[in-house]
Amino acid sequence: MNQASVAVLLSTYNGEKYVEQQLESVLAQTYQNIQIIYRDDGSTDKTRSVVDKVLKNTQYICMTDGKNIGPAKSFIYLLSENPEYDYYAFCDQDDIWEKDKIETALEQLSKVHVPALYVCRARTIDGEGNVLCEDSILSESRKNIPSELICGIAPGCAMVLNKELAEIMITQKFSGIPMHDMLAIILAFAKGKFIYDSKICFSRRMHSNNVVGKTEKNWLQANKQRYRRWVLDSQKAPLDVFMNELLGQNKELRNSKEYQYFYDLANYKKSLACKIRLLANKEYDGGSNSARRSFGIRLLLNLL
């Protein structure tokens, strides 16, 4: 019997320091029918040559075009340009996968026949590979859309999705997407199944050059990142515009239990009532008050 095909979607940006170790962990997977599909998002370092060196004896697909479009659009592009696979795994450039990451995900996904998203647990490591945190278990109360939209419940690097969910994602048209993992989670909750596995399947590296994450950042770096996320990112992909477009393309969301939340996010800039309901929402569980404070400040300043 033929194995189901898996596309490992890798988007890189100035990742020469760690990408070799990540690729080696992908190539060491126990599951064999894997195709690495790679796009560089306009790196100015030696990332592309490192990737080419590591993968030179494999049949990988390179889709490098040199344009910097950001991680969300880069991953959606990789997904939309490669519709022929059974499963898809988002791959960050600086993590390290356990050998059975893909095999473990497919054991769960193969049991369902609806649009499905698998999310595994990760340990956190620093730039040198030292373990910072083993405990990243997601509480039951946090597995909901409000928690995703306030602080995020799972990063893209923890995800494997089936073809059915991928097909829905690539038919969606948005002027801007805050992050590809946010879209995957919302659509999985709304149209299919969200599968959470407490098993640790990879090491997530947090360092000063992360797109997301504060580990090893000094005061200046942390505030530069905050400015980028609060101001620049909100201008590129405003959450209210994204929510209006999402509701417009997915009419069934109007009958979902999260509809009021979607509606309030779509209209918060022009409605004080929407802001008040969002601030008072009790479903959010992020495990930290800092995420809610950040969300509240950005909400009041119209910077979501």
Amino acid at 113: H
What is the mean pLDDT of the segment spanning 181-204? 96
Judge if 182 and 259 occupy the same domain: no
Pair 175, 290 in one domain? no
Number of domains in the chain: 2
Q: Count, in order, helices (H) and strands (E) of the chain.
A: 13, 9
CB 265 within 8 A of CB 239: yes
Greater pLDDT, 203 or 289:
203
**Confidence tier at 29 by pLDDT (50, 70, 90):** very high
**152 and 259 together in one domain:** no
108 and 240 co-located in one domain:
no
Predicted confidence (pLDDT) at residue 217 exceeds the cutoff of 80: no
In a domain, 211, yes or no: no
Q: What is the mean pLDDT of residues 136-153?
A: 82
pLDDT at 234 over 80: no
On whether both 40 and 64 belong to a single domain, the answer is yes
Q: What is the mean pLDDT of the chain?
A: 91
Residue 287 has pLDDT above 90, yes or no: no
Q: Are residues 179 and 137 in the same domain?
A: yes
User: What's the pTM value of the predicted model, to 2 decimals?
Assistant: 0.92
Is the same domain home to 146 and 249? Answer: no
User: b/e map of 40-74 (b: 16 or more CB within 10 Å)?
Assistant: bbbbeeebbebbeebbeeeebeebbeeeeebbbbb
Query: How many other β-carbons are positioned within 10 Å of the β-carbon of residue 89?
Result: 26
Regarding whether 253 and 142 lie in a shared domain, the answer is: no
Shared domain for 132 and 157, answered yes or no, is: yes
Residue 263: inside a domain = yes
**Residues 199 and 236 reside in one and the same domain:** no
Does some domain include residue 210? Answer: no
Has residue 62 been placed in a domain? yes
Residue 267 lies in a domain: yes
Domain termination residue (choose one: 137, 170, 205): 205
Task: Specify if 1 maps to a domain.
Answer: no
**Comparing 51 with 224, which gets the higher pLDDT?**
51
CATH number, domain of 67, equals 3.90.550.10
Q: Report residue 125 as tokens.
A: 């490591």
Q: Say yes or no to pLDDT of 210 above 60.
A: no
Beta carbons of 116 and 164 less than 8 angstroms apart: yes
Q: CA 131, CA 215: separation in Å to the nearest integer? A: 12
Which range of 53-62, 264-273, 278-287 scores highest in mean pLDDT? It is 264-273
Of 205, 236, 261, which residue sits at a domain end?
205
Do 102 and 30 have their domain in common?
yes
First to last CA, the chain: 48
- Residue 222: what pLDDT? 67
- Domain assignment present for residue 213? The answer is no
What is the residue range of 125's domain? 6-205
The last residue of a domain, from among 149, 171, 205: 205
Distance in angstroms (rounded) separating the CA atoms of residues 116 and 123: 23
Q: What's the pLDDT at 233?
A: 75
In a shared domain, residues 96 and 47? yes
